Amino acid sequence: MTTIRTVAIIGAGQMGVGIAHAVALGGYSVTLYDVNPDRLPVAQGEIAANLARQVGRQRITQADADAALGRIAVITSLADAGAADLVIEVAVEDEAVKKQVYADLIPHLGKDALLASNTSSISITRLASATDRPDRFIGLHFMKPAPVMGLVEIVRGIATSAETYDAAVAFAESLGKTVTNAEDFPAFIVNRILVPMMNEAIFTLYEGVGDVASIDKALKLGANHPMGPLELADFMGLDVVLAIMNVLYDGLADSKYRPCPLLVKYVEAGWLGRKSGRGFYDYSGDVPVPTR
């Protein structure tokens, strides 16, 4: 079985930062790359702050935090990711962007390196076909926030080898995660179920059945959900929710996966949720305020 000691994370957005944090805390040497070099020092600061928060909550020791931070190095060239045993692509949920990352990355990879995508919805088989190693390509879908959430979805493409699968499972479990196996269908398991629920909540808002506060309160208290569906959509990013709904709609050709027009409008407006400061809630103050 492939031995993984070094891991390169391609993409230093919220998910990339979380995965780098979790992997470094698991004892691996991590290199973190982003197409925007200015993002890298910000990402380092976010990881340091998140580790400090875990220390404050007594989930890890200060020594653990210091050691994890010391294992993370930022890189400004994809060539510097080439020596990693495992590369995890965490680019935006756009198939063309991901395939371009692979095209730029593959010339630098060792022949035995494993390549994984953290895609939350796109076909692993199709992504793997754009690489030189479909047998060594797999889906490793971490949940957000990656340092906290206990699940990793493992998604095999049609060409993924048994050795690659075994190595991916062992890697995820070494981080203290529980794995679940998902077949390579649009949005896999978690988002196949979760994101249409969010889309239905947006339709409920769009049709005037309830306002933002009422819908979220109803699901939190009526279904014992820790977050309301609109609050959760804002947390995930409304652009991500829309991208997943489009993958489901295009891939399964079923009208029940049609994205709500209100979701489309919010994304067109740049109202993407927490990361943009406004979505179904306004995050400009100390306490989020419903916008509808």
Active-site pick, 89, 93, 153, 231: 153
Active-site pick, 117, 118, 120, 121: 120
Annotation says 231 is catalytic: no
Active-site pick, 118, 123, 141, 199: 141
Active-site pick, 117, 118, 191, 199: 191
Annotation says 141 is catalytic: yes
The neighbouring-strand residues paired with 75 are 33
- Full DSSP string of the chain: -----EEEEE--SHHHHHHHHHHHHTT-EEEEE-SSTTHHHHHHHHHHHHHHHHHHTTSS-HHHHHHHHHTEEEESSGGGGTT-SEEEE---S-HHHHHHHHHHHGGGS-TT-EEEE--SSS-HHHHHTTSS-GGGEEEEEEPSSTTT--EEEEEE-TT--HHHHHHHHHHHHHTT-EEEEE-SSTTTTHHHHHHHHHHHHHHHHHTTSS-HHHHHHHHHHHS--SS-HHHHHHHH-HHHHHHHHHHHHHHH--GGGPPPHHHHHHHHTT--BGGGTBSSEE-SSSS-EE--
CA dist 51 → 28, 75, 118, 206, 244 (Å): 16, 21, 22, 39, 30
Residue 274 sits at the vertex; the CA angle it makes with 202 and 62, to the nearest 5 degrees, is: 135
Annotation says 183 is catalytic: no
Q: Hey, how many other C-beta atoms are within 10 angstroms of the C-beta on 218?
A: 17
Annotation says 191 is catalytic: yes
Active site residues: 120, 141, 153, 191
